[in-house]
Amino acid sequence: MYDSSNRRIHYLRLSITDRCNLRCTYCMPAEGAMIVPHASLLTYEEIVQLVQAGIALGIDKVRITGGEPLLRRNVVDLVAALARLPGLHDLAMTTNACRLPDFAVPLKQAGLHRLNISLDTLDPTQFAAITRGGNLQEVLDGIAAAIAAGFQPIKLNCVITASPDEPDARAVAAFGAARGLPVRFIRRMNTAQGRFWQVIGGDGGHCATCNRLRVSSDGRIFPCLFNNTSYAVRELGATAALLAAVQNKPTAGTASANRFHHLGG
């Protein structure tokens, strides 16, 4: 699929839940996500149908995200169903890793290709502050489990305030280098203020080469994180919603009311 700016759109980011076990200050309100009524969540069957419709239109890359995707019940079944779809060349997940000690091996066996793991600091006190009470050791155990399960590559997502030279970011860079895990530095963004930057070491945040659509857990397709427009899969049908999102993808982001925990970052 090509949009009106002649960008090839082939990447779908699926948020499968707004809920999270952490409350990162830059992502989630202190009180947690508003609960999406269960009936509004796209079912796994609907998600698979949506991805199938996407593949028919040229989608070949899917990332499962959230909220925290490993909190959604039976997520391994969804991974297995997506991994079986012919035409999907890249199936990845972004996770905070806390539940990977239990899930790394089942996810690998289900056919997940790649993992991105969020890690902003190696200081337990700072980690607890950023995540409003999280336990860094759970993440470190999750990373170790992902390595042991044989995931390759495992990329680390590190949110920075201003520069990858910040002490926390340097520590994450050294941690990644020691284990052969590439690190992507993501400057803290603000959708309401329209503040976004290119990801350092990655390909996000660059409007001219943006290749993605986002799907919220309640089945709305957003052409851009920094734009309020969305198209509901249940109202329009998967194919029409995907086409509408591509045709109306803005040339560049501006500002929006979208929340990271709703649209998967």
Q: Using CB under 6 A as the criterion, which residues of the chain lie in contact with ligand SF4 when the complex forms? A: 20, 22-24, 27-28, 66-68, 96, 118, 260-261
| 217 lines the binding site for ligand SAM (CB under 6 A) | no
Rg of the Cα trace of the chain? Answer: 17
| 197 lines the binding site for ligand SAM (CB under 6 A) | no
C-alpha angle 43-45-46 in degrees, rounded to nearest 5: 65
User: Residue 189, CB half-sphere, CA atoms under 13 Å: how many?
Assistant: 26
Choose one: 44-52, 79-87, 93-101, 126-134; the region binding ligand SAM (CB under 6 A).
93-101
Comparison of 84 and 195: residue with beta carbon closer to ligand SAM: 195
| 65 lines the binding site for ligand SAM (CB under 6 A) | yes
Contacting residue, 17, 52, 95, 256, with ligand SAM by CB under 6 A:
95
d(CA 133, CA 234) in angstroms, rounded, equals 37
| 189 lines the binding site for ligand SAM (CB under 6 A) | yes
Comparison of 76 and 244: residue with beta carbon closer to ligand SAM: 76
Comparison of 28 and 93: residue with beta carbon closer to ligand SF4: 28
| 186 lines the binding site for ligand SAM (CB under 6 A) | yes
The nearest distance, CB 27 to ligand SF4, in angstroms, is: 3
Amino acid at 6: N
d(CA 222, CA 231) in angstroms, rounded, equals 7
Contacting residue, 121, 131, 157, 216, with ligand SAM by CB under 6 A:
157
Contacting residue, 54, 66, 176, 223, with ligand SAM by CB under 6 A:
66
Interface positions with ligand SAM (CB under 6 A): 20, 26-27, 65-66, 68, 94-96, 118, 157, 159, 186, 188-189, 260-261, 264-265
